[in-house]
Amino acid sequence: MSQSSSKLNRTLTQAFGLFLGIAIAVWVLRGFGILTFIPGGIILLLFVLAIALAILSYVQRTWWRF
């Protein structure tokens, strides 16, 4: 694995963790009634973005041309 590929994979993995952490935090805080003004679609979008980044990171790590 090349250096740039490793750096890209690390960046994608960190972005996945960031978006997943934000999505879970917002979801929990909305459940407690603290962030009631945030619509559910935004939370769903954060989860979908985190899942897409995880898939992209996996594909980048296993697919040799990417």
Q: What is the pTM of this model?
A: 0.82
The per-residue pLDDT for 32 is 95
Cβ atoms of residues 2 and 50 within 8 Å: no
pLDDT in tens, 6-51: 888 899 999 999 999 999 999 999 999 999 999 999 999 999 999 9
Span 46-65, pLDDT tens digits: 999 999 999 999 988 887 66
The reported pLDDT for the residue numbered 53 is: 94
Q: If we measure between CA atoms, which residue out of 13, 43, 14 comes closest to residue 28?
A: 43
Cα separation, 39 vs 2, whole angstroms: 41
